[in-house]
Structure 1
Amino acid sequence: MLQTFFILGFWRKSMQFYNVAKILTTHGLDGEVKVALITDFPEQRFSSGSKLALKDDHERELTVKSGRPFKQFWLVKFNEITDIDQAERLRGKILVVSEENQQELPEGVYYYRDILNCDVIDNQNGEFLGKIVDIQSPGANDVWLVQEDSGNEYWIPYIKDVVKKVDVDQKKVYVELMEGLHDED
């Protein structure tokens, strides 16, 4: 199964950081917080010993003591946060992971940032078809929005029958469009 992963990023002090969760509220009295996920890897991001930071304060590193799923959210406890008052000050903050603390993805799996702005190339004749400008995850597979030089746009599914090769180093995606995917006027 082909997969791409959503992760937002921003630069600070020449190091890349990526959003992983938003702290919603406190949970209990011992400093545990409830977070909304912005990552596809909560088991890794919130495993004991994981290092995270706050989006607006990278100097303050937080070490995960424990993390566990809770309904559609996660509950996370940090070594540095020991009571509800400290946890309350984190409400609304975005947790980030540094590029150096990100995991390597398996073959055929990509971060959205690797796919966005890739040139889309016809695998049969090498013709440039456009650039990938958006990615959506509506269900079983992602769909990628291709924008032509003319400004016209169309969606392609990220499935093996359509996407034949992804070369993130060269920022190129080779495709074979099925009938009806790209209607030319």
Structure 2
Amino acid sequence: MRSRRGAASASTWWTPIPERTRTQLRVGRLVKAHGLKGALKIELYTDEPERRFTAGAEFSLQVPTSSKWHRKTLTMTDFKVFNGNPVGFFEGIDDRSEAETLVKAVLWVEQDATELPTEPDAWYQHQLANLEVWRDGVMVGRIARIDPMPAQDLLVIANGDTEVLLPFVRAFVPTVDLQNGRVEITPPNGLFEDPDPADAEPEPQGAGRRADAAEADADAPAGDEPEVPEADTDADAEPASEADPAKD
């Protein structure tokens, strides 16, 4: 889900197909086995974990075609948080060895393509993908995808042969009009135009004097090279020890 308030959740974009009433949302990834009873740590790709990860929730799996889980689904039996880490339990996954066969699997859920998030001023990525981007009455591109970032998400706008990154915040994207398939933007100056030469940074003062001094030194008579003292070294210094690997 994408929110202009900056809620970050890593996910991929999904191009909507108008005639479809259902789509899929990527909501998480299984990253590591947890404990000995088949639990798995989950990297969340959703702002609504309490809604997506409930007992009985069914997930489609994105795995390599060589995986035993290819074209299969998982059903959740329980969802807990241990030391800040989301952990899921699933039907048929009863030991650590079986859990490890699911590591790196991406979890997808079915979603009504027209449903909006419950959070105000927020949209799902498949609803934003491919929308027209308008500025001052002129179409300047289309939304290619959304890149999640820690502070706020970035709209990646296809503008001809280039891509322009625009923070997805109200100041720059005041209007999202799903009904008409467009967003209105008020980007910073220069984002969609060639930079004005007048805006170029001036050459730092003194640069010319340094060049003149170098030329003067080149014309000076050659002499003995100045002796450069050796830098002190700490022979007793030892490299920092590596941190112990994280454990479950």
The alignment status of 1:161 with 2:168, answered yes or no, reads: no
* 1:60–1:26 CA distance, 2 compared to 1 (3 A): same
Query: Alignment partner of 1:156: what SS?
Result: strand
TM-score, normalisation: structure 1: 0.74
- Report how far residue 100 of structure 1 moved: 5.0
CA distance in 2, matches of 1:157, 1:180: 15
Query: Do 1:50 and 1:63's aligned partners in 2 also have CA atoms closer than 8 Å?
Result: yes
The alignment status of 1:144 with 2:175, answered yes or no, reads: no
Partner amino acid for 1:98?
A: E
Query: Alignment partner of 2:89: what SS?
Result: strand
Aligned twin of 1:127? 138
Q: Which structure: greater strand fraction?
A: 1
For these two proteins, the number of residue pairs brought into alignment is 180
Query: Do 1:135 and 1:142's aligned partners in 2 also have CA atoms closer than 8 Å?
Result: yes
Gaps of 5+ in 2: 64-68, 196-248
The alignment status of 1:111 with 2:124, answered yes or no, reads: yes
The C-alpha deviation readout for 1:73-99, integer Å capped at 9, x for no partner, is 421112332333432332332222122
CA distance in 2, matches of 1:70, 1:101: 33
The alignment status of 1:31 with 2:41, answered yes or no, reads: no
Aligned twin of 2:88? 76
Gaps of 5+ in 1: none
Structure with larger Rg: 2
Query: Do 2:61 and 2:108's aligned partners in 1 also have CA atoms closer than 8 Å?
Result: yes
Partner amino acid for 1:7?
A: S
Aligned twin of 2:193? 183
- Report how far residue 103 of structure 1 moved: 7.1
The alignment status of 1:94 with 2:101, answered yes or no, reads: no
Query: Alignment partner of 1:117: what SS?
Result: coil
* 1:105–1:6 CA distance, 2 compared to 1 (3 A): farther
Aligned twin of 1:17? 24
Query: Alignment partner of 1:163: what SS?
Result: coil
Aligned twin of 2:78? 66
> Identical aligned pairs, as a percentage?
24
